[in-house]
Amino acid sequence: MKNIVMPRLGLTMEEATLLNWLIKEGNAFQEGEIIFEIETDKVTSEVEAPFAGKLAKILVAEGETVAVSTPVAEAEEG
């Protein structure tokens, strides 16, 4: 298993709210595919998958705010 983490999208970004999961547990995804949307105090952004795989478990629910580098999901690589 590999973790998908909350990315740092700007130098001053410390946390973000996960707005929407675009894939569900058990679904496969490709590297570069948009898998969730986040909101910071400045902007709403789409987050791309850092690798191809299958979403095994969502760790952060929609509407939750977490710090940068916090695991938001577990995925099977490949």
Residues whose CB falls within 8 Å of the CB of residue 11, separated by 6 or more in sequence, listed in order: none
Question: What's at 63, amino acid-wise?
Answer: G
- Tens of pLDDT, residues 32-55: 999 999 999 889 999 999 999 999
Rounded to an integer, the average pLDDT of 55-78 is 97
Number of domains present in the structure of the chain? 1
pLDDT of residue 46: 97
- Give residue 41's domain range: 2-77
Residues whose CB falls within 8 Å of the CB of residue 41, separated by 6 or more in sequence, listed in order: none
Rounded to an integer, the average pLDDT of 6-23 is 94
Q: Computed from CA positions of residues 33, 21, 45, 38, in that sequence, does the dihedral angle turn out positive or negative? A: negative
CA angle 37, 47, 17 (to 5 degrees): 40
Q: Give me the residues paired with residue 60 across strands.
A: none
pLDDT of residue 42: 83
Domain CATH number, residue 26: 2.40.50.100
